[in-house]
């Protein structure tokens, strides 16, 4: 699995691709994309990348797989999850290359997938239904995890024991321990993120399935109230369980602001606007950090709330436009406040461990904010430098194109896309022979011989985005190097 600092925002990459489709190849939305050297067309097949990024989620599914499962080397797994605690926790997603279900990153992935569809779903055409299915697979699990009031089941599986094995999810024999937060062991950050996920998803299903949408928003309201009332970090009460894997370093204030922002957007209830106005500053609205991912939502909340000012003209949220602008100014090269680091090849670089999570999440915010600015006919002013929406889109496009192959390695960091992509990703199911080709059980430690080998993975995890190159654009493509070679759901989101 990815460590606490490694994450991919799966929905993010999807959204970037969607938005790029909208301004690079609009004529291709209704017919297959073909590469063209004509200057008006994009150099990458974004539609293909979009389709693959959505298929990837099927490779991360836990539970009873449906008949229309497209990644066919995966089979049923985790069919008794929750049974030991008397609850049904079958389903959901494995977060990365391991076989544990972590509620915190899963909820964030769901929020981001939903935000992607909300903003850019109209461009998805034939892939929209697949994207909704990916979201629904997550929300069904989150509804199970929040079925009991003032309780959320936040993890299934003993991460330490799981990591001592290299085995397929279909063969799991490590303890499927269940961990929860409640009044006595609060977990505000994971509870508020879960509320955000349910609220965002309610918007996705509002028109196509109104009754399901109402169920999601009703649950989101209840879960947020629990998160706000019983405050405390789940990294304290469940430290031995969730650390060092998904410790919350940023605290829970960012999730409270983020959750309230999503509930305001989904319900239009003035009580959430009042909550934001009353608590925004104490919850970190003006924080100067520039990292957005499964742990830190400050920047995402700023961008999300800026829409209420830019598009809905809510004057009381004027400051969030300024906060969002400050973030943008920290990213764009050549501005007085620019702080972002780039590799020699042009990739945003923030961290050694799974840096691509930062690239995808940042790129998503760039194109989303560009959309809001365009709608309001506004720009960003960084000192004496004016940043237009077009420049934000171009910066995001450069990052996506790097990810898809325009880089010194000439390698696509999305598995299955392009002529050259990682062959030895840090992923148990992908690296071991499938149940179809090797029906016999592969014992817990027997798979480590494969993990340390140089042989390519026999099963292609289509659409997976790996941690990516280092600060010098180097990528060894070694299965044991989880920092660079492990994919995760939140990288694409």
Residues 197 and 111: their CA atoms lie apart, in Å, by 4
Residue 423 exposed, middle or buried by CB count within 10 Å (0-12, 13-18, 19+): middle
Nearest to 98 by CA among 181, 13, 6, 12: 6
- Average pLDDT over the chain, rounded to whole? 91
Summarize the confidence of residues 166-173 as an average pLDDT: 96
Summarize the confidence of residues 223-228 as an average pLDDT: 98
**Helical residues (DSSP H) of 9-93, grouped into ranges:** 10-24, 46-59
Residues 381 and 329: their CA atoms lie apart, in Å, by 8
CA atoms within 13 A on the CB side of 91: 17
DSSP structure string for 219-271:
HHHHHHHHHHHS---HHHHTHHHHTTTS--SS-SHHHHHHHHHHHHHHH--HH
The answer to whether 143 and 87 have CB atoms below 8 angstroms apart is: no
Strand locations in 372-466, DSSP E?
380-382, 385-387
Summarize the confidence of residues 417-432 as an average pLDDT: 97
Q: Quick check: 458 pLDDT over 60? A: yes
Query: What's the pLDDT tens digit per position in 396-420?
Result: 999 999 999 999 999 999 999 999 9
Nearest to 260 by CA among 249, 250, 252, 271: 271
**Model confidence pTM above 0.85:** yes
- Cis upstream peptide for 101 (omega within 30°): no
Q: At a CB cut-off of 8 Å and minimum separation 6, what does 485 contact?
A: 422, 424, 425, 426, 466, 467, 476, 477, 478, 479
Summarize the confidence of residues 171-185 as an average pLDDT: 96
Which residues participate in catalysis according to the annotation? 426
- According to the model, what pLDDT value does residue 28 have? 27
Query: What's the pLDDT tens digit per position in 340-353?
Result: 999 999 999 998 88
Summarize the confidence of residues 29-58 as an average pLDDT: 67
Query: What's the pLDDT tens digit per position in 84-130?
Result: 899 999 999 999 999 999 999 999 999 999 999 999 999 888 899 99
- According to the model, what pLDDT value does residue 493 have? 57
If pLDDT is split at 50, 70 and 90, which confidence band does 42 have? low
Q: At a CB cut-off of 8 Å and minimum separation 6, what does 393 contact?
A: 19, 20, 23, 366, 367, 370
| Percent share of the chain, pLDDT over 90 | 85
């Amino acid at each position: 699995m990815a460590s606490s600092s490694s994450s991919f925002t799966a929905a993010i990459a999807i959204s970037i691709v969607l938005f790029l489709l909208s301004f690079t190849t609009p004529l291709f939305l209704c017919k297959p994309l073909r590469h063209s050297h004509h200057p008006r067309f994009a150099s990458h097949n974004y539609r293909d990348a979009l389709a693959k990024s959505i298929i990837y989620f099927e490779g991360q599914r836990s539970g009873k797989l449906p008949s229309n499962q497209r990644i066919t080397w995966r089979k049923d797994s985790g069919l008794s999850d929750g049974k030991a605690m008397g609850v049904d926790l079958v389903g959901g997603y494995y977060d990365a290359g391991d076989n544990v279900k972590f509620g915190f990153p899963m909820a964030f992935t769901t929020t981001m997938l939903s935000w992607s569809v909300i903003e850019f779903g109209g461009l998805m055409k034939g892939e929209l239904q697949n994207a909704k299915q990916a979201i629904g697979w997550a929300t069904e699990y989150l509804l199970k995890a929040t079925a009991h009031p003032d309780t959320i089941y936040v993890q299934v599986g003993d991460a330490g024991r799981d990591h001592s094995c290299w085995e397929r999810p279909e063969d799991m024999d490590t303890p499927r321990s269940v961990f929860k937060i409640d009044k006595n062991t609060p977990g505000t950050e994971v509870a508020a993120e879960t509320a955000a996920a349910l609220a965002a998803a309610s918007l996705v299903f509002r028109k196509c399935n109104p009754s399901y949408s109402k169920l999601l928003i009703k649950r989101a309201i209840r879960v947020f109230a629990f998160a706000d009332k019983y405050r405390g970090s789940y990294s304290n009460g469940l430290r031995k369980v969730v650390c060092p894997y998904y410790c919350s370093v940023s605290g829970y204030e960012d999730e409270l602001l983020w959750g309230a922002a999503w509930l305001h957007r989904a319900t239009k209830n003035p009580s959430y606007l009042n909550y934001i106005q009353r608590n925004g500053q104490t919850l970190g609205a003006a924080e100067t950090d520039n990292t957005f991912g499964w742990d830190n939502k400050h920047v995402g909340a700023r961008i999300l709330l800026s829409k209420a000012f830019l598009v809905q003209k809510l004057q009381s949220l004027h400051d969030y436009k300024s906060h969002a602008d400050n973030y943008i100014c920290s990213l764009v090269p050549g501005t007085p406040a620019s702080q972002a680091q780039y590799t020699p090849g042009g990739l945003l670089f923030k961290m050694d461990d799974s840096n691509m999570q930062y690239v995808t999440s940042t790129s998503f915010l760039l194109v989303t904010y560009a959309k809001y600015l365009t709608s309001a006919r506004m720009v960003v002013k960084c000192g004496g430098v004016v940043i237009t929406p077009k420049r934000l889109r171009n910066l995001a496009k450069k990052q996506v194109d790097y990810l898809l192959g325009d880089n010194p390695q000439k390698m696509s960091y999305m598995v299955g896309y392009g002529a050259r992509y990682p062959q030895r990703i840090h992923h148990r199911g992908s690296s071991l022979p499938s149940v179809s080709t090797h029906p016999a059980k592969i014992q817990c430690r027997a798979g480590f011989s494969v993990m340390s080998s140089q042989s390519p993975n026999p099963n292609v995890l289509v659409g997976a985005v790996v941690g990516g190159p280092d600060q010098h654009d180097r990528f060894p493509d070694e299965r044991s190097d989880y920092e660079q070679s492990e994919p995760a759901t939140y990288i694409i989101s």
